[in-house]
Structure 1
């Protein structure tokens, strides 16, 4: 504990002592690297950990969504939808399989199209592929 001369401006009355007729109050000496700084570092570290956990959670959610989309537009799903179409000739059928194998976006478009639009879209894609 150290004693610090009071300049008379504070007048707070905190821990006042009389020493040699002068007003003095006690002050707590805080060494450098104190708990205040440690608390600040801990708070910063906690904030970084929290941010990293949020990033990990967002990444996990994104991966989950991607997997659901991949399942929704999987090759097996496309083949199932293709098998349900009426009037698909063998040439278009096998071109469609090649298209599904090589392009996720083609699978997504095919499954997303309304039923009556799927065959004309496939026929158009197959005529482009065979040219």
Structure 2
């Protein structure tokens, strides 16, 4: 026995279900909403991938900042200061106060070794005068 669907097509008993005396055709091909779900999943995957890339970039940036902070750390500045020749006690202790400023630490470490003492002497004469 064949039934007629609401859209006017006929189908075999395999294609239809009887529910309360009404026929209902089983979809054979994926509907457009199924394709939308797949494209949403792809878009979702792209969003997840982008978020993972952002997280990885953030971790790399944090690592670079940490490396930079270590390079210009107070302990590194003190080590370099201790290795310098001709630093009197007054300049030594004023330099320790100066190293509390991250910009001063970066300048100190970035200078060529022969310029560091002159820079410290200039900074210390300004702060004491």
Answer whether TM exceeds 0.5 for this pair. Answer: yes
Indicate how the Cα distance of structure 1 residues 37 and 92 shifts in structure 2: closer, same or farther if over 3 A, else same. Answer: same
Q: Which runs of 5+ in 2 are unaligned?
A: 10-27
Higher relative contact order (CA 8 A, sep 6+): 1
2:86 pairs with 1:87: yes
Structure 2 match to 1:21: none
Of the candidates 112, 115, 120, which is equivalent to residue 114 of structure 1? 112
Closer, same or farther in 2 for the Cα pair 1:29/1:3, shift >3 Å?
Answer: farther
TM-score by length of 1: 0.74
CA distance in 1, matches of 2:8, 2:116: 88
What is the rounded CA distance, in whole Å, between the counterparts of 1:29 and 1:85 in structure 2?
81
Q: In the TM superposition, what is the alpha-carbon distance from 1:35 to its structure 2 partner? A: 1.1
Q: Cα RMSD (Å) of the superposition?
A: 2.3
Q: CA deviation at 1:29?
A: 6.9
Question: Which runs of 4 or more aligned residues in structure 1 lie more than 3 Å from their structure 2 counterparts after TM superposition?
Answer: 1-4, 28-32
1:30-69, aligned counterparts within 5 Å?
31=31, 34-69=33-68
Residue 87 of structure 2: SS of its match in structure 1? coil
Provide Cα deviations, 1:26-53, integer angstroms capped at 9, x if missing partner. Answer: xx67656x21110111011111100000
Give 1:54 deviation, angstroms.
0.4
Q: Distance in 2 between matches of 1:3 and 1:54?
A: 52
Note closer, same or farther for the CA distance 1:41–1:94 as it changes in structure 2 (3 Å cut): same
Consecutive unaligned residues of structure 1, counting only runs of 5 or more, are 5-27
Alignment TM-score, normalising by the size of structure 2: 0.75
